């Protein structure tokens, strides 16, 4: 929604939807929090409640999280048919240009 409201994108080319069963959602959330490096807190302990009540709390040392994003590349096979060789070659060239433009933001 944010990119639509900000106007930074004119169209969406690909949308991935992940559907979880309710019993799997908590497990997924816990794994993502663990991967992020934060603790999943289900309940506060009695000591932390007492400390927050008395305004006594320990400041844990700040931990830097280094996340690495990787682009997963999947291969695809195209079979191009056309009226003549020229049409086929133009279509192949057009497809290659589209693929290169799509991959351009991920290369450095």
> pLDDT exceeding 90 applies to what percent of the chain?
0
71 pLDDT tier (thresholds 50, 70, 90): low
What is the SS3 assignment for 99?
helix
41 vs 94, residue with greater confidence: 94
Which residue blocks in 1-108 are alpha helix, DSSP H?
A: 2-6, 22-36, 46-53, 85-103
Half-sphere exposure of 74 (CA within 13 A, CB side): 1
Predicted confidence (pLDDT) at residue 82 exceeds the cutoff of 70: yes
| pLDDT in the model for residue 87 | 87
- Residue pair 76/59 in contact (Cβ under 8 Å)? The answer is no
Name the least confident of 15-24, 51-60, 77-86: 51-60
Predicted confidence at residue 73, as pLDDT, reads 65
Count, residues in the chain: 108
The DSSP symbol for 22 reads H
- pLDDT at position 41 over 60: no
């Amino acid at each position: 929604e944010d990119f639509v409201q900000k106007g930074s994108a004119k169209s969406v080319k690909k949308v991935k939807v992940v559907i979880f069963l309710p019993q799997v959602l908590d497990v997924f959330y816990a794994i993502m929090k663990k991967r992020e490096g934060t603790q999943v807190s289900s309940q506060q302990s009695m000591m932390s409640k007492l400390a927050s009540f008395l305004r006594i709390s320990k400041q844990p040392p700040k931990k830097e999280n280094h996340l690495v994003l990787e682009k997963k590349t999947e291969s695809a096979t195209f079979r191009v048919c056309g009226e003549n060789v020229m049409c086929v070659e133009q279509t192949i060239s057009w497809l290659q240009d589209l693929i290169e433009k799509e991959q351009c933001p991920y290369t450095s």
